[in-house]
Chains A and B, each alone.
Chain A
Amino acid sequence: MNVALFLSVLAIAACGLIYELVASALASYLLGDSVLQFSTVIGTYLFAMGVGSWLSRYLTRGLVARFIGIELMVGVIGGFSSTLLFLAFAYTGAFRLVLYALVVVIGVLVGLEIPLLMRILRDRYAFKEVVSNVLTFDYLGALAASLAFPIVLVPKLGLVRSAILFGIVNAVIALWSTFLFAELLGTRRALRAACVAVLTILTVGMTQAKAITTLAEDNIYSDDVIFSRDTRYQHIVLTAWKDDLRLFLNSHLQFSSRDEYRYHEALVHPGLAALPGARRVLVLGGGDGLAVREILRYPSIESVTLVDLDPEMTRLFATHPLLTKLNGGSLTSPKVRVVNADAFVWLDQNTEMFDFAVVDFPDPNNYAVGKLYTTAFYRALERHVSRGGLFVVQSTSPLFARQSFWSIVETLKRARLKTYPYHVYVPSFGEWGFTLAAGADAPPYAPPGTVPPGLRFLAGPDVAQLFTFPRDMQAVAVEPNRLNDQVLVRYYEKEFDAINR
């Protein structure tokens, strides 16, 4: 017997099993409870195959053309099954209905394949040979598919492209059958054209699979991604859901527009409102311009210098309409100068003096950023703060990362600075901490009695309250963070691992 012919049986069987596995796997990914999903999908599928086999008796004429038509239908429906399921989950409430409907349709079609093929081959070979060979290759195909699916297909191609790939296999077999059984076919041209059309559709689907999954995932993760870019320094993602705008840097939430005012008012005003004579302000990090927005509330401020590493970040927050609305166009104010530079090096290379400085870096979750939280860094910064001036440091959470928070305070102390730690509740972050620092010879800091008008969170008399720590956030004995011994990064890793576990 023709081995190639039976290899196509193997391929058909593999395709059938792959669609079954794709549907089961997707259902367990999206709905959970994998035992239930696998068992109901496989059961429904096998039952539908039985229905297909039974229906095959009603197909009497033009068997080869029917077989090719079925192959093409399986190719299209099976090939796009996972795409359809993804989209159904993302956009409709009827995922289960679509799932079982698809499983039944594919199952019926696959159930028709083998009986039809056996009848086509009946006239060519002895019946016992047909049954033996077709079923042998059928089961072999099942084995090949079940091994390839978890080991190769899912890890290398993913669910969407795996299904489409096997759709292509079905269509290729359909096309090949037009040659293999040419003598049994009347009009071949129309069938071949259909095969080519199906192949084209599937190939396009294969190349566009990523766009399809992104589309679906955007919907699965509720918020719309309105901006996403890999810059030289970081991965910037901006999401929007109703009136909530969120910024993620390297997947870490930086702010939510619903409560960022709490964070930024608390960051800026306890320090700056206490310095009525302040004219010049420095902001390190904070390329979102939100701290600058708060600084510009003081009419007496003459200039703000913002030093942020990433030009794409400051450009985005100076131009994107949703973002300039949020930061009040602070980055394009004539009082503001934006410098794109590495903060530590910039401090070393400049001699400019400031009355107040805001240090708003990402959390110290790696040794590169950790350099910006060291005694050496704070000493370098202190040289740029005028006598009697202050600076404030975003200091992580005194509740979730208690050691990290107090390590930052300890680091400032070891840099021979006076420290005034305080904290605030920001719903999207939780309890968050800041530290005000002043030179050793500066007069003691006293919380301001008034704050600029128009704030949503802080009122003058409330500022002093921020400086009391409840028992579960009070100081613990920790080491300072130094360039040559970055304990802070280790504290931070340990504390956030404990939360994420």
Chain B
Amino acid sequence: MSISRREFIAGLVAAPALVGLTNKAPRPIAGGFVDDAMGVGHSLRDGRAVPHPRDRRRVHVAVVGGGIAGLSTAWELDRRGARNFVVLELAAQAGGNARSGENDVSAYPWAAHYVPVPGPRATLVRELFVELGLLRDGEWDERSLCFSPQERLFMHGEWHAGLEPEFAMSLGDRAEFRRFADVVAAQRATGQFTIPSALGVSRASALDRLSMDAWLREQGFTSPRLWWYVDYACRDDYGASLRQTSAWAGIHYFAAREPDERGPLTWPDGNGWITKRLLAKLGGYVKTNAPVSRVRREGSRWRLTSARAEYDADIVIWAAPAFVAPYVVDELRAERRRTGFVYSPWLTANITLERWPAERGSQPAWDNVIYDSPGLGYVVATHQSLRTFEPRTVWTYYHAFADLTPELARQELVRRDWSYWRDRILDDLARVHADIRDCVSRVDVLRL
């Protein structure tokens, strides 16, 4: 009996089919980029003409930016009895980083998705939260605090409860984590690290001139696990690597939180929950699709040119990202070339799952982080559900470009198409959920 090479190869191809290993056609996955107002933002930066408005209005206060800062400003103005003011938002939907979306499975956040339980010094936030019914008689609303289990970490092939990489830790690692906690406690005791940060010590700190990685080295920390943990914190909070983050900011992440907080506060739609409630009350003051293209002195007043109208205001409150101001405010033109803060771009994706994927180890948590992954992990939108069983879910996947400079990262974000990001995200998740592609029906991507 002899088999020709052709027959042999044909057999090889046919063999898997015989034992039922036929390659199924992959499940179609829908989705795309969501409107990220990138075009409007770039035209502001480039000074391109924005339609010239005919209306002219007179207001006492003009707030530029309808994100959480602009809406909180409106809340405070309204509380103080002001009525003659306007909030100008560039995008079609107010909320900025605290905006959210919703589909037939769940509401979900597009960016900011929690608020640490505000300490006693964050008086304004606490007042707002009392008004929203989150704080009653000194007790936080249990349904808005993040449910157990809060966090888990994937390492060595399975999920482990908690975010600190405690699994199979050496004695040396353990000692460093303890020492790190002591150092953080000592820094907290200095009183510089507060929320709101304005209450902390205002003079420039030596920690401002040091990067977080230099500080870690200076303190003699060498454990790779501790380095990963601190690096993750910087990527998660600032979108920046240890080298790009100042030691002051890096320590702030740990030292500014309440030491025994049982939180954070969170909702299926993330901080969109707050945005919706602020808008329900203050929506009348907010103008959307109203990018402000120019702000200049006009006598004793300020003149704002927006797509809808020109406003003459006694006071302008800038509640949009600070790096945009020099491109819009005539009086700040000189700041354009000055290197100050760099803003890192982000990528978030909302992933709709028709069923929960396979996994190993501890139960699904709210925040699910993969050790040694370039991504920041995913947050489960249905985690705050009161049901014992959720057949479908939405995950919000976060990615910060800490490995690239912000300029390169922005180019990358613009250059790549949706299918590239979909595959990158699903590849990352497939490391921990092998059958993720069989579960996902949509991947919607937002470039921030």
Name A's B-contacting residues (CB within 8 A). 4, 232-233, 309, 342-345, 348, 366-372, 374-376, 482-486, 489
Contact = CB atoms under 8 A, between A and B. Distances in A.
Contact of B142 (A348, A370, A375): A375
B388 A483 contact: no
B145 A345 contact: no
Q: Which 4 A-B pairs have the closest CB atoms?
A: A484-B145, A486-B148, A344-B386, A342-B387
B95 interface: no
A209 B142 CA distance: 52
Nearest to A176: B1
A371 B388 contact: yes
Given A368-B389, A372-B388, A485 B149 contact: no
Given A482-B145, A484-B262, 8 more contacts: A342-B388, A369-B388, A371-B388, A484-B146, A484-B263, A485-B148, A485-B262, A489-B148
A372 B385 CA distance: 12
A367 B145 contact: no
Interface string B385-398: 01111010000000
A483 B389 contact: no
A483 B391 contact: no
B378 interface: no
A483 B147 contact: yes
A479 B387 CA distance: 23
B363 interface: yes
The winner among A342, A343, A484 for most chain B CB atoms within 10 A is: A484
A305 B147 CA distance: 29
Contacts of A343: 388
Contacts of A345: 386-387
Given A233-B389, A342-B387, A345-B386, A376 B148 contact: no
B143 interface: yes
Given A233-B389, A374-B142, A366 B363 contact: yes
B106 to A, nearest CB: 14
Contacts of A309: 388-389
Contacts of B146: 484
Interface string B137-152: 0000011011111100
A374 B141 CA distance: 13
A370 B148 contact: yes
A290 B425 CA distance: 49
B392 to A, nearest CB: 12
B386 A371 contact: yes
A4 B3 CA distance: 13
A493 to B, nearest CB: 11
Given A375-B142, A482-B142, A484-B148, A367 B389 contact: no
A342 B389 contact: yes
Interface majority SS (helix, strand, loop, mixed), chain B: loop
Given A484-B263, A485-B262, A368 B388 contact: yes
A470 B35 CA distance: 66
A73 B387 CA distance: 59
A485 B388 CA distance: 16
Most buried by B among A342, A375, A489: A342
Contacts of B143: 376, 483
Nearest to B145: A484
Nearest to B366: A484
Contact of B147 (A342, A367, A372, A375): A367
9 contacts: A233-B389, A342-B389, A367-B147, A367-B363, A369-B388, A482-B145, A482-B262, A483-B148, A486-B147
Contacts of B145: 482-484
A366 B363 CA distance: 8
Contact of A484 (B1, B142, B363, B389): B142
Nearest to B266: A484
* Most chain A beta carbons < 10 A, residue from B148, B149, B150, B387: B148
A376 B142 contact: yes
Contacts of A4: 1
A485 B148 CA distance: 6
Contacts of A372: 388
Contact of A367 (B1, B142, B149, B386): B149
Interface string B1-26: 10000000000000000000000000
B355 to A, nearest CB: 11
A136 to B, nearest CB: 23
A376 B149 CA distance: 16
Contacts of A371: 147, 386, 388
Nearest to A4: B1
Nearest to A376: B142
Contacts of B149: 367, 486
A4 B2 CA distance: 11
A376 B139 CA distance: 12
Contacts of B142: 374-376, 482-484
B148 A344 contact: no
Contacts of A489: 148
Nearest to B150: A484
A233 B388 CA distance: 9
Contacts of A344: 386-388
Contacts of A486: 147-149
A367 B148 contact: yes
Contacts of B147: 367, 371, 483-484, 486
B257 to A, nearest CB: 15
A133 B387 CA distance: 68
A211 B268 CA distance: 45
A368 B143 CA distance: 14
A365 to B, nearest CB: 11
A484 B267 CA distance: 12
A376 B262 CA distance: 15
Instruction: Select the residue from A372, A374, A483 with max chain B CB neighbours within 10 A.
Output: A483
A4 B391 CA distance: 55
A13 to B, nearest CB: 22
A268 to B, nearest CB: 23
Contacts of B387: 342, 344-345
A242 B142 CA distance: 49
Nearest to A487: B148
A344 B387 CA distance: 7
A366 B386 CA distance: 14
B409 to A, nearest CB: 35
Interface in B126-184: 142-143, 145-150
A202 to B, nearest CB: 17
A375 B142 CA distance: 8
A294 B13 CA distance: 65
A454 to B, nearest CB: 35
